[in-house]
Chains A and B, each alone.
Chain A
Amino acid sequence: MDLRFTRQEIAFRDEVRAFFRDNLPESVRAKLIDGEFIGPDDYRAWTRTLSAKGWGAPHWPVEHGGTGWDPVRQYIYLEELQKWPAPAPLAFGVSMVGPVIAAFGNAAQKAHYLPRILTLDDWWCQGFSEPGAGSDLASLRTKAVRDGDFFIVNGQKTWTTLAQYADWIFCLVRTNPDAKKQKGITYLLIDMKTPGIEVRPIVTMDGGREINEVFLTDVRVPAENLVGEENRGWDYAKFLLGNERSGIARVGLSKQRIARIRELAAQEFSGGRPLIEEPRFREKLVSVEIELKALELTQMRVVSNDAKRGHTGRPDPASSILKIKGSEIQQATTHLLMEVMGPFAAPFRGAEEDGWNEPADGPDYAAYAAPSYFNNRKVSIYGGSNEIQRNIIAKAVLGL
């Protein structure tokens, strides 16, 4: 047993840090630190910077642009990315549809789509959830009917993150209404410019414009956009669930936020002394830090196990722990950060794109603290709610 990284791993970590320091514009980093949304231009520029370095999608197969890093290096990279902080490459392309195409797509699909994900020439969004299919995703009803060389798709997707910028959407659609519900689902790639697609924004309670509804009406999708086999889409979607392990806990992100909390709590005063010296606040913060340390080690156990024995590709119950604890800690830290702001958590600042140009009230760094807390309620809901994660552990680990 040894918790330490090797000398080579430490050199690698330093190289990653130096790259972020030298290449990420300070303005983008500042937005991330304050919890402000970064726009598509910043995303695209940064994704291209990473890809030019060869780091656009570290976990992909090398022949498609992956790095060939072992699980430990992938972990270090993600940890440093989150800690700096630098924007993570858009997950919908790099972490979701990319690995599915790489594993199940045909040669033409791989050759066409994968390079365009790495450069963000194609912005992908995820068409899984529907109004009637959330936790019970397999009950989805968006229908695709074969018509010669096309599928005709009708239905509605929802909670579609950043669909307003998307060029493509990867969708689960029902192709066999008579089969058991998991067996009649197909994985389709759909061009967002196809006639019949309409995107309507859903404004979230924090004022954010991240998510959307996507309506599909008689959308004609070329049959060549089918991934793998018809009616096997559920298997491909499930393949993803076990795939996302490093980084799911967001340990680096929470570390960065804790550093920010300490920094700002030293500047804000309470009872005549810096807030960080107030025992009640300090001990709340330390309690979260302890949980985070435990999670970091749990994550390292998973990574080390992967490195030694290889990733089985099956969903790992450990990733459910990482998701549950990671999301709880993200929520606790966003709440603590808001608490630091005291009364200045209150003033609302609208988005510039909505024509908001009022002067700031209170310190600049306070503006997004409350919205970020509100927004982070999502992290225990998306990607399989924490209750679903508990169901998975109960069944897969405890045998209940």
Chain B
Amino acid sequence: MDFDFSDEQTLLKDQLDRLLADRYGFEERKRAMASPEGFSAEMWARYAEMGLMALPFAEDDGGIGGGPVETMIVAEAFGRVLALEPWMTTVITGGGFVRLAGSAAQRAALIPEIASGALKLAFAHTERHSRFDLNIVESTAKRDGGGWLLSGHKSVVHDGASADKFFVTARTAGSRRDAGGIGVFLVDAHAPGVTRRGYPTQDGRRAAELSLDNVAIDAEAVFGDSENGLSLVHAVVDQTIAALCAEAVGVMEAMQKLTVDYLKVRKQFGMPIGAFQALQHRAVDMFTATEQSRSMAYLAAMMADDDEATERAKSLHAAKAEIGRNGRAVGESAIQLHGGVGMTAEYAVGAYFKRMTMIDVAFGDSDHHVGRLAEMGGLF
């Protein structure tokens, strides 16, 4: 039992924290948000230089060989500054499909591109009626000679507006709710038959709607078993959830810090409002919720690549549920304790609150995960 980071991990954390502290202030973030891509191309290049894009890939594949703890360190740091770059979708989610299911040829083709920052990926899974259920897939993939023809419509594809390629789930067999018959395909954003419409999300990021109309895919673009891809999707989503939990902890930590700092400087009735017990206790509840969430982000990180799928899933359901619930509590308190200034678009705390809220509705909100965990028989 050990909760300390290794020396290398500490180095990674310090290096990234320093870069973000120097270069990723709230005003810089606003400028990046207003750019055509919706994120900072300059920071993206710096992350690649630092090796963040190569982080989780095996050294034999040209990666750095980092694990879920390294992912956690990076995601949490990004959460603290509300980084906009599509790192998680590209490296953890997209990269997850490559790592877990890529053939030698697929890995050799994709990992160097990801590692250099040349390739941006997104995961196109959600459909109009799938909500958070990973098994509900209506988009179809039909065999066409040696390859496939993909058709369907994918919604709320995070970072989909800037992605070069999409990992797309499509049904190769069975009916819309079947666990079997789901395949994972890599689709080029500019392939004939692909239409995307980018739009902003509530938290200042970008997403896209993606339409696929008989998009021709060759056999090399299939990842894993085209008839039985759901377990792969679960594995990749679980790793993504672990990273989101870490990001959420960064977001909560930032909200808590902003709030406590504000309580010390804002004066009313002739004294700092932090002297009032009602506000102190609410701030303490924010602290407690953040620390409990951090504990669950640790659990998520340490279980994210566990081979035992049931235990892994239980832990990640628990972590995402706890973090969704606590994140909302921390965010709402942060706004409340700031009073009117917390309501403004100009001040940072609202941006954190919005990101936290959107993390909850990504890959299952807390009710969803509590429900799934309950069906699985709970934790103890």
Most buried by A among B277, B285, B378: B378
Tell me whether A1 and B374 are in contact in the complex, defined as CB-CB below 8 angstroms, given that A291-B292, A400-B274 are known contacts. Answer: no
Tell me whether A394 and B370 are in contact in the complex, defined as CB-CB below 8 angstroms, given that A1-B2, A2-B302 are known contacts. Answer: no
B275 touches A400 (CB 8 A): yes
Closest to A308 in B: B4
B378 touches A262 (CB 8 A): yes
Closest to A287 in B: B370
Give the chain B neighbours of A287 by CB distance below 8 A.
321, 370
Closest-CB distance, B377 to chain A (whole angstroms): 8
A304 CA to B4 CA in the complex, in Å?
A: 9
A6 CA to B318 CA in the complex, in Å?
A: 24
A294 CA to B284 CA in the complex, in Å?
A: 17
Total number of A residues with any Cβ neighbor in B under 8 Å: 47
Q: Does A303 lie at the interface of the complex (its beta carbon under 8 Å from any beta carbon of B)?
A: yes
B322 touches A289 (CB 8 A): no
Q: Does B295 lie at the interface of the complex (its beta carbon under 8 Å from any beta carbon of A)?
A: yes
Q: Does B5 lie at the interface of the complex (its beta carbon under 8 Å from any beta carbon of A)?
A: yes
Closest to B369 in A: A290
Give the chain B neighbours of A259 by CB distance below 8 A.
380
B3 in complex: contacting residue of A1, A9, A290, A393, CB < 8 Å: A1
Q: Does B362 lie at the interface of the complex (its beta carbon under 8 Å from any beta carbon of A)?
A: no
B298 touches A255 (CB 8 A): no
A2 in complex: contacting residue of B1, B264, B277, B287, CB < 8 Å: B1
Give the chain A neighbours of B378 by CB distance below 8 A.
258, 262, 282, 285-286, 289
A390 in complex: contacting residue of B281, B371, B380, CB < 8 Å: B281
Q: Does A15 lie at the interface of the complex (its beta carbon under 8 Å from any beta carbon of B)?
A: no
A203 CA to B275 CA in the complex, in Å?
A: 38
Closest-CB distance, A49 to chain B (whole angstroms): 28
Q: Does A295 lie at the interface of the complex (its beta carbon under 8 Å from any beta carbon of B)?
A: yes
Tell me whether A301 and B260 are in contact in the complex, defined as CB-CB below 8 angstroms, given that A279-B371, A290-B379, A394-B284 are known contacts. Answer: no
Q: Does A53 lie at the interface of the complex (its beta carbon under 8 Å from any beta carbon of B)?
A: no
Q: Mark A21-43, 1 if CB is under 8 A from B, else 0.
A: 00000000000000000000000
Interface residues of B in 309-366 (CB under 8 A from A): 318, 321-322
A36 CA to B209 CA in the complex, in Å?
A: 60
Give the chain A neighbours of B275 by CB distance below 8 A.
400
Q: Does A107 lie at the interface of the complex (its beta carbon under 8 Å from any beta carbon of B)?
A: no
A279 CA to B368 CA in the complex, in Å?
A: 12
Give the chain B neighbours of A304 by CB distance below 8 A.
1-4
A255 touches B380 (CB 8 A): yes
Q: Does A305 lie at the interface of the complex (its beta carbon under 8 Å from any beta carbon of B)?
A: yes
Q: Does B288 lie at the interface of the complex (its beta carbon under 8 Å from any beta carbon of A)?
A: yes
Q: Does B373 lie at the interface of the complex (its beta carbon under 8 Å from any beta carbon of A)?
A: yes
A290 touches B1 (CB 8 A): no
Closest to A305 in B: B3
B291 touches A298 (CB 8 A): yes
Closest-CB distance, A39 to chain B (whole angstroms): 30
B295 touches A393 (CB 8 A): no
A400 touches B1 (CB 8 A): no
Q: Does B235 lie at the interface of the complex (its beta carbon under 8 Å from any beta carbon of A)?
A: no
Q: Mark A299-322, 1 if CB is under 8 A from B, else 0.
A: 011011101100000000010010
A293 in complex: contacting residue of B3, B284, B285, B379, CB < 8 Å: B379
Q: Does B299 lie at the interface of the complex (its beta carbon under 8 Å from any beta carbon of A)?
A: yes
B299 touches A297 (CB 8 A): yes
A290 in complex: contacting residue of B4, B260, B318, CB < 8 Å: B318
A9 CA to B302 CA in the complex, in Å?
A: 19
Minimum-distance CB pairs A-B, first 8: A297-B295, A394-B280, A294-B292, A400-B274, A282-B374, A390-B284, A286-B374, A289-B379
Interface pairs (25), CB distance under 8 Å: A1-B4, A1-B5, A1-B298, A1-B301, A2-B1, A2-B2, A6-B1, A72-B1, A255-B380, A283-B370, A287-B370, A289-B378, A289-B379, A289-B380, A290-B379, A292-B379, A292-B380, A293-B296, A293-B318, A297-B296, A321-B288, A390-B284, A390-B285, A391-B277, A397-B284
Interface residues of B (CB under 8 A from A): 1-5, 9, 69, 260, 263-264, 274-275, 277, 280-281, 283-285, 287-288, 291-293, 295-296, 298-299, 301-302, 318, 321-322, 370-371, 373-374, 378-380
Other A-B pairs beyond A2-B302, A262-B380, A300-B1, 14, CB < 8 Å: A1-B301, A3-B1, A5-B1, A258-B378, A279-B374, A285-B374, A289-B380, A293-B322, A318-B291, A391-B277, A393-B284, A397-B284, A400-B260, A400-B263
